[in-house]
Amino acid sequence: MTVWDTAEESARDGGTVPGRVRIRTDDVPAPTIASRRTQGARINESRPVVFDIRDMSVYYGSNRALMGTSMKIRRNLVTAVIGPSGCGKSTFIRSLNRMNDSIPTFRLTGEVLYHGHDVYGPGVNRVEVRRRIGMVFQKPNPFPKTIYDNVAWAPRNLGLRSDLDERVERALKQAALWDEVKHRLRTSALGLSGGQQQRLCIARAIAVEPDVLLLDEPASALDPVSAAAIEELMHSLKNRYTIVIVTHNMQQAARVADQTAFFSLDRIDQVGTLIEYGDTETIFRSPRDTRTRDYVTGQFG
Ligand SMILES: Nc1ncnc2c1ncn2[C@@H]1O[C@H](COP(=O)(O)OP(=O)(O)OP(=O)(O)O)[C@@H](O)[C@H]1O
Ligand SMILES: [Mg+2]
């Protein structure tokens, strides 16, 4: 038994996916921004902790990419990671599901506790980590297979072969793609538009019913309409999943995120570090640190 088995029950609270809500792609007034988020810092603070990151530093060889990061990521919230290029945003979220392990020079110090269990602890099964903590990348990367086989790929690998049709349909519905593809499931995924391909990648990630979804700039390569569809999707998915999203788009962070973490380069060491973390309203309207304020108001650099 891996340590992950003991976290099984706490991994999900079985919420339902609400109906779709239209959103705008341009900037929206404050009341609308607030209404699309889970209300209130205190409510956010009361949610169970999914990740407890303690003094995490990441090195590539002798270069430190991220230093001394401590923060808690809470269940069924959207947590945005923002900050200038090179400040370690991708390094940060890739460290949460051991995606950096494939980089030979990668080294991590500190602790990443997932439901209280050390992700980098001895005996932890990396395949199981990735099943529970799914990831979607900036560039849609469907396999050169049919739409159905893309979504069925991970369940098949894990031996989840019973009710596969239902599982594929459920994932495609959750990813708000079903209606567009239900008549062409056996055609190539490469024939889909970029926005559809990205929703397919989200369907592929959620087909094994993970606990957490990590999204590294999932909408930045998409047109505004597809980007809005991805945002809308995050709202409907957060009742089922805990979502961490890296984005360069401040309006997007303000619209979708309950919590926001601002990373930047440390003034002295020029190493990526967490500058400020809190509920999105506070980070955007009354940040404590001048670097956060400069960044969210576009005066950075
Ligand atoms: N595989 C790697 N090998 C060596 N150094 C790396 C590697 N990946 C990232 N780095 C370095 O780590 C630092 C942080 O990079 P990272 O990609 O995490 O930044 P980022 O905030 O995601 O940037 P962007 O907004 O451009 O995507 C950079 O200095 C980068 O050069
Ligand atoms: Mg990045």
Minimum-distance ligand 1 atom for the alpha carbon of 217: 27
What tens digit of pLDDT does each residue of 100-150 get? 999 999 999 999 999 999 999 999 998 899 999 999 999 999 999 999 999
pLDDT of 2 higher than 70: no
Q: What is the arithmetic mean of pLDDT over 22-50?
A: 58
Residue of the nearest CA to atom 24 in ligand 1?
85
What span, in angstroms and rounded, lies between the C-alpha atoms of 121 and 112? 9
Helix intervals (H) in the chain: 30-35, 41-45, 89-96, 126-132, 147-157, 164-174, 178-181, 194-206, 224-237, 250-256, 280-285, 290-296
pLDDT score of 38: 61
The pLDDT value recorded for residue 28 is: 36
Q: Name the CA radius of gyration of the chain, rounded.
A: 19
Residue length, the chain? 301
Long-range contacts of 9-14 (CB under 8 A, 24+ apart): 10/48, 10/115, 11/115, 11/132, 11/211, 12/209, 12/211, 12/240, 13/75, 13/76
| pLDDT of 18 strictly over 60 | no
Cβ atoms of residues 146 and 186 within 8 Å: yes
Least confident of 20-29, 147-156, 227-236: 20-29
Residues with CB under 6 A from ligand 1: 60, 65, 85-91, 103, 272
Domains of the chain are 48-139+212-296 (3.40.50.300)
Q: Quick one: tokens of 38? A: 């889970």
pLDDT at 298: 85
SS3 100: helix
Give CA angle at 235 (181, 182), nearest 5°.
10
Query: Which residue puts its alpha carbon closest to atom 9 of ligand 1?
Result: 91
User: Binning pLDDT at 50, 70 and 90, where does residue 46 land?
Assistant: confident
Mean pLDDT is lowest, of 12-21, 90-99, 242-251, for 12-21
Q: How far is the CA of 85 from the centre of ligand 2 (A)?
A: 7
Tokens for 33, please give them: 């921004």
Question: How many whole angstroms from 6 Cα to the centroid of ligand 2?
Answer: 32
Q: Tell me what the mean pLDDT of segment 35-51 comes to.
A: 76
By alpha-carbon position, which residue is closest to atom 11 of ligand 1? 65
pLDDT of residue 44: 80
Ligand 1 centroid, distance to 300 Cα (angstroms):
19
- Which pLDDT score, from 0 to 100, does residue 160 have? 87
Q: What is the pTM of this model?
A: 0.87
Q: Which atom of ligand 1 is nearest to the CA of 91?
A: 18
